[in-house]
Amino acid sequence: MTSQLTDSDRAALRTRYRTERDKRLRLDGNTQYLEATGRYANLLDDPYTPLVPRAPLHTDVQVLVVGAGFAGLVVGARLKQAGITDVRLIDKAGDVGGVWYWNRYPGAMCDTAAMVYLPLLEETGTVPSAKYVPAPEIQAHARRIADTFDLRRDALLSTGVESIAWDESLSRYIVHTDRGDVLRAKYVCTGTGPLHLPKLPGIPGIHSFAGHAFHTSRWDYAYTGGDPTGALMTDLADKRVGIIGTGATAVQCIPHLSRSAGEFFVFQRTPSSIDVRNNHEIDPQWFANLETGWQRKWMTNFTVLQTLGFAEEDLVKDGWTDISIRIRDRAVELVKAGATLGPETLLKAYEDSDDEKMNEVRARVDAIIGDEHTAAALKPWYRQLCKRPCFHDEYLQSFNNANTQLVDTDGKGVERIDERGVWVAGVHYPLDCLVIASGFEVGTSYTRRSGFDIAGRDGVALSEYWANGMRSLHGIHVRGFPNLFVIGFTQGANQIANVPQNYVENGLAIADVIAHSEAVGVRQVEPTQVAENDWLTFITSNQRGLRGNPDCTPGYYNNEGQPISQSDMFNGSGHPGGPIAFFEFLDAWRQTGEFVGLQFSA
Ligand code: NDP
C-alpha cells in the first residue's frame, strides 16, 4: 500500500525497474522481428475457409469498405443507418470479424468488458453472456452486425486488395484484388486494423525447426485436437509442447496448453502483469432493464474514468478503471495536501498509484505460485502501463501443474532454435510442437501492415505522403486523397483500452460526410491543406500517454524502447484533451452539418 512504502522502497523499485529494462533494451528495436516467410509463409493463409472459385467482378461501387472487422462493420452499419445502400465490404478473411476471425486460439477472449467492447449491442439487440466474453461469441457478434445491416450479401470475402488508385477523370478509386476484380469505388473507407499482421521472433535458427510450429493467430486444431471453445486438446497428451511469448495472447492460451500437453515449456523473456479478472455472467433480467442509449453512456463512463475523469459511478469497474481511479484520487489527495495541480503532481500521483498496484500484482504471484524460483521469475518489474496489462484468474495457477515448466530467459529471449527444439542458456529443450505467441506488427508502416498502397491525386502514394508520419484531419481525411476515409484511432481519440469506441464515434462522422456529399451531389471531398496542417499542429502540441517513456521496459507500447521519431510521434498522436474531448468535438463538428476543414467539389 502507498502509505507503507518509504522513499527508499520507492527508490529501490526505480533501480530494479531500470535494471530489468536495461537487460531488455536492444538497438534493433522493432527490426528484431521477422516476417512470416519460408517455412512460415503459410502463416498468412486462411486455414478456416476454403477458397471458393468465383468469376472476377467488374463493377461500380458507391462505398467500398476495406476490412470486415469491427472497424469496417461498424462504419458499414453507420452508412446503412445514414441511408447509403450500396456498401461493399472486402476482406481477405473468409468471413467477417477481423482479429476475431483470425484469432481462434484456445482461451481467446476479450479482457475489455463486453458491455463497452462489443459495438452496436443496442442496435443488434444483443445480450452478452458475461462481463468478458470468449472469442467465438465475439465473432458471432460480428456476424450479427453484418446480418442486421445487410452487409454480408455484397461482401467480397476471401479477397485481398492489391491496389487502390484514384482516377481524377472518373472521380473514383480503381481497386484491383487478388481475385481479378476491378472495382470503381466512389468512396473508399479503410478499416484494416492495428494488430493483424503476425510477426515472428527474430531467433536464430527459427526456420530450421523440423517439428510442428504455428503462430497463435492461426491455431492448428487439426494437429492439437480441441476447438476454439476450449475443449481439451487431446492430441497433445503425448507431446512435448513449447510456447514462445508471454504477452496477452499467451496468457490466455497457456492454461489450456498446460491442461492438455504431455510436457509443456513456457519460454519467457518478460513476464506480463497479471491482475485479477473476476468474470461473471450477465443477468438477462438486469440487462433488459437498461434504458435506451445505455451503451453510449457506458462507453463514455468507461473512457471518462479510464482517462482520469470524474463520474458518479464506475459502471464497468475493472482493472482498467481501477488503476486510473487510483491515480485520480491520489492526485486529489496531493492537491488537498497543498500540491499544485499540474504535470508534476499528476506524475507523482501516477507513480504512487502504480507502485501500489504493481506491488499487489507481484504479491498475487507469491500468493498463487508454490515454487519460490518460479514465483520470482513471474514477477513483472516495470510500471503497469509500460506493457499491455493482462487480467486472468487461471494463468499463474498453470505454473503449479507438474507438467508445466517456466523457462525464464532473464530478459534475453530464446537463444536459438534448431531442428529438434529450443536452446536457452546452453540448455536444449527438445519439442514436438512450438507455439509462437510473438504478436503482431505495430511500429511498421500503415501500408505495409494493410498489404496494399493507395495512390491519390497525381499518383502520389499514401506510403510516400506518410513517409514521415501520418497526416490527416481528425485521423480520417487525408489531403490529396479525395473520398478516402481512414477508420482508426490515431490522430483522433486514441482510445486504445476500448478500440471499437473509436469506430462507433468516427463512423457517425464518416457516414454524415458521405450522406451529405451524396445529398448535395458532390464528386469529391477532401480536407483543405490548411485544415490538415492545423490539425497536425494541434494534436502534436501536447503528447499524452507513456509512449516513449525511457524508463519503461521495451515493448510495442513504447516503440520497443527506441527513441520516438517524428514519424512515431505523428502516428501516435491524438486529441490533446483526450478521447472524450475528441468524441465531443467530432460530434459537434458533424452535427453543425458544415464539416469545417473539408472541401467539397461538384
Ligand atoms: P505481444 O506483442 O503482446 O507479445 C509477444 C510476446 O513474445 C512477448 O511476451 C515478447 O516478449 C515475446 N517475444 C518476442 N520475441 C521473443 C524472443 N526472441 N524470445 C522470447 N520471447 C519473445 O503479442 P500478443 O499476441 O500476446 O498480444 C498482442 C496484442 O493483441 C495485445 O497487446 C493486445 O492488444 C491484443 N490482445 C488483446 C486481447 C484482449 O483480451 N483484448 C487478448 C490477446 C491479445 P517481450 O515482452 O520481452 O517483448
Domains for the chain: give ranges and CATH numbers.
Answer: 58-197+442-522 (3.50.50.60), 199-272+387-439 (3.50.50.60)
The beta strand positions in 140-294, using DSSP E, are: 161-167, 172-177, 182-190, 212-215, 240-244, 263-268, 274-275
3-class SS of residue 379: coil
- Please state at what angle helix 319-336 crosses helix 294-306, rounded to 10 degrees: 50
Share of the chain above pLDDT 70, in %: 98
CA distance readout (Å), 460 to 227, 381, 518, 527, 558? 46, 46, 26, 16, 30
CA of 491 to the centre of ligand 1 (A): 24
CA of 392 to the centre of ligand 1 (A): 15
CA of 555 to the centre of ligand 1 (A): 9
Sheet holding 416-417, edge to edge: 416-417, 421-424, 427-430
Amino acid identity of residue 348, one-letter, is K
Query: Which secondary-structure segment (H or E) carries 509?
Result: helix 499-520
pTM for the model stands at 0.94
CA of 556 to the centre of ligand 1 (A): 9
The pLDDT score that the predictor gives to residue 498 is 95
Give the cell for residue 359: 506491488
- Whether 547 shows a pLDDT value over 60: the answer reads no
**79 ligand 1 Cβ < 6 A:** no
- Please state at what angle helix 499-520 crosses helix 294-306, rounded to 10 degrees: 120
3-class SS of residue 461: strand
CA distance readout (Å), 510 to 11, 50, 75, 338? 49, 34, 7, 46
Give the cell for residue 159: 479477397
What tens digit of pLDDT does each residue of 284-320 get?
A: 999 999 999 999 999 999 999 999 999 999 999 998 8
What tens digit of pLDDT does each residue of 255-283 get?
A: 999 999 999 999 999 999 999 999 999 99
The pLDDT score that the predictor gives to residue 410 is 96
**269 ligand 1 Cβ < 6 A:** yes
Q: Positive or negative CA dihedral for 369, 372, 376, 378?
A: negative
- Tell which residue, 400, 353, 362, has the closest CA to residue 274: 362
How far is it, in rounded angstroms, from Cα 8 to Cα 91? 55
What tens digit of pLDDT does each residue of 322-353 get?
A: 989 999 999 999 999 999 988 899 999 999 99
Q: Which residues pair with 527 in a beta bridge?
A: 598
3-class SS of residue 221: helix
Identify whether the C-beta of residue 513 lies closer than 8 Å to the C-beta of residue 589.
no
DSSP 467: T
- Tell which residue, 564, 113, 50, 37, has the closest CA to residue 298: 113
The pLDDT score that the predictor gives to residue 244 is 98
Model confidence band, residue 546 (pLDDT cutoffs 50, 70, 90): very low
**388 ligand 1 Cβ < 6 A:** yes
- Whether 1 shows a pLDDT value over 60: the answer reads no
